[in-house]
Amino acid sequence: MTELAPFHAHSSKPMSEAEFEAAIRAVGAERYHDKHPFHKLLHGGKLNKGQVQAWALNRYCYQAAVPRKDAALMSRVHDRELRREWIHRIHDHDGLGEEPGGIERWLVLTDGLGLDRDYVISMEGALPATRFAVEAYVRFVVEQPLVVAVASSLTELFAPSIHRERIAGMLENYDFIDDKVMAYFKRRLTQAPRDSEFALSYVKKNAHTRAEQEACVAAVRFKCNTLWAQLDALNHAYVAPGIVPPGAFKPE
Amino acid sequence: MTELAPFHAHSSKPMSEAEFEAAIRAVGAERYHDKHPFHKLLHGGKLNKGQVQAWALNRYCYQAAVPRKDAALMSRVHDRELRREWIHRIHDHDGLGEEPGGIERWLVLTDGLGLDRDYVISMEGALPATRFAVEAYVRFVVEQPLVVAVASSLTELFAPSIHRERIAGMLENYDFIDDKVMAYFKRRLTQAPRDSEFALSYVKKNAHTRAEQEACVAAVRFKCNTLWAQLDALNHAYVAPGIVPPGAFKPE
């Protein structure tokens, strides 16, 4: 039944917590970006180094935006306990004190791929579609009701399996990838489940009406779209048909 | 010369760093809220307990808004190093892990004054003008250029002297105030200078044109206005003439 939930938008009866969670998880099963052909190529060792570079420098835009997204969400939160919980996400990405954080680990990956760090950080070579998708996510958490903004983070429910698959697939299939450059994904194996459990429980507790629940499910769909659109753009530019937009990164 | 800076709005030559800093400090000398008659009454022991309660519960609105303001600022920052520095402000107010933070210390003050904690947190008894002023500050950092948003924090340059005066004056003059409830201000004696030094150096480095510098000076003036307006409202409601707005806290 739960996979039908999105079609009952005008039903007034709230879903049970189990139905609600199942509706959220059904979005991942249907459209999380692990289903995208580009990811299958990436993990299966079917890309050349230039294509992996293009993926890594575009994905940097997303990594770099996540702390701004989380700060934007926190700027709307009047509940101190929620802020005290959510701030860990910023620590995870920006680091704190001696801990360098996930963005730095991502730059270790792009270093390892032989990309110039300043070029990656400048985002000059990134695809415009990547940046539009990423900024759409930042705006979403500013503009949507708080519980819906929180729900948009729930793609993390689906992340650990893609990260496990990616670590194994990339280490096995590419001679330019080693353990050190995969540190980002190893770290996320423990961070993402902690965060997504909190967010899932928050959303269950704070989405009261059927309309709120459906808006939360739609938020997960929206977030999946922002991830999928990034891979569409990569695929179009660097795989098939392989038309690199003006100004974007051109592999050697 | 520097005190004339605000009158040269159309001059195209940037101020020297020393002139710029002096112009910022001149704003404090002219209009920081330590000059407000209400603060003189507060620190001089001239208020009764109900009036001190009114001050503390209104000021809570400001304390509680500061982490949202800082998160709003961070949500606009693309420079990871600046975010890694700025996040300490959120830790200072919200706490981190075992450290309870400044808002909790403020509630220790309102507890000590005999106010119900839920009532304080609800902000139901706060003056509307307090909340308007506080939210104007949050919006300011969202809407203004980043360097101007950073500059609005520079009232912290003037805070340590008011805190020292407040700690001494309130401990000496009120039998309902003890060391424990003044913990918030003691902590700020070390936090505020660290933050304001960083922000001052950032603003000096990043306000390049005369127009940007003047916008930064104006930001400090704006921020002083948000603090001053809060004391005007307190004074009007609880001192002279003493007209408490409908729904606002009424001392027993």
Write out the DSSP string of A43-99. HTT-S-HHHHHHHHHHHHHHHHHHHHHHHHHHTT---HHHHHHHHHHHHHHH-BTTB
Is residue B107's pLDDT more than 70?
Answer: yes
Q: Measuring CA to CA, which residue among A51, A226, A218, A249 is closest to residue A132?
A: A226
| Least confident among A7-16, A232-241, B127-136, B172-181 | A7-16
CA distance A153 to chain B (A): 16
Distance of CA A101 to the CA centre of its chain: 16
For residue range B43-81, list pLDDT tens digits in order.
999 999 999 999 999 999 999 999 999 999 999 999 999
Question: Which of B60, B62, B74 is best to mutate for the A interface (most A CBs within 10 A)?
Answer: B74
Confidence of residue B4 (pLDDT cuts 50, 70, 90): very low
Across the range A78-100, mean pLDDT stands at 96
Say if residue A6's pLDDT is above 80. Answer: no
Average pLDDT, stretch A52-60? 97
Is some CB atom of chain B closer than 8 A to the CB atom of A131?
Answer: no
pLDDT band at B20 (very low <50, low <70, confident <90, very high): very high
| CB proximity B83 to A under 8 Å | yes
A103 touches chain B (CB under 8 A): yes
Percent of chain A at pLDDT > 70 equals: 96
**How many beta-carbon contacts under 8 Å exist across A and B?**
73
Rounded to the nearest integer, the mean pLDDT of chain B is: 94
Put simply, the answer to whether B64 touches A78 (Cβ < 8 Å) is yes
Instruction: Enumerate the residues of chain A whose CB falls inside 8 A of the CB of residue B94.
Output: 80, 83-84, 87
Q: A184 vs A130, B4, B81, CA distance in Å? A: 20, 53, 19
Q: What pLDDT band is residue A218 in, cutting at 50, 70 and 90?
A: very high
CA B37 to the chain's CA centroid: 17
Least confident of B5-9, B98-102, B184-188: B5-9
Question: Rounded mean pLDDT of A108-137?
Answer: 97
Identify the pLDDT of residue A123: 97
Q: How confident is the model at residue B3 (pLDDT cuts 50, 70, 90)?
A: very low
pLDDT score for A192: 83
Coil, helix or strand at residue A245: coil
Query: Whole-number mean pLDDT of chain A?
Result: 93
Give the pair of three-digit tokens for residue A37: 């052909």
**Looking at residue A2, what is its pLDDT?**
41
**Is B74's CB within 8 Å of A69's CB?**
no
List Cβ neighbours of B247 (8 Å cut-off, separation of 6 or more): B124, B125
Give the integer Cα–Cα distance in Å for B92 and B108.
Answer: 15
For residues B48 and B251, the answer to whether their CB atoms sit within 8 Å is: yes
Contact B68 A90 (CB under 8 A): no
Question: Which chain B residue is nearest to residue A88, measuring alpha carbons?
Answer: B96
Contact state of A94 with B78 under an 8 Å Cβ cutoff: no
| Domains, in order of start, for chain B | 16-238 (1.20.910.10)
Task: Tell me: pLDDT of A10 over 70.
Answer: no
Chain A residue with minimum CA distance to B61: A78
- Of A43-57, A114-128, A168-182, B237-251, the least confident: A168-182
pLDDT tens string A162-198: 899 889 999 999 999 988 888 888 888 888 889 999 9
Q: How close, in Å, is residue B102 to chain A by CA atoms?
A: 11
| Residue A153 binned pLDDT confidence (cut-offs 50, 70, 90) | very high
Q: Which of B69, B83, B138 sits opposite A67 (nearest CB)?
A: B83
pLDDT reported for residue B10 = 56
Residue A96, beta-bridge partner list: A99
Bridge partner list, B179: none
CB contact under 8 Å between B71 and A67, yes or no, is no
- Asked if B90 reaches chain A (Cβ–Cβ under 8 Å), the answer is yes
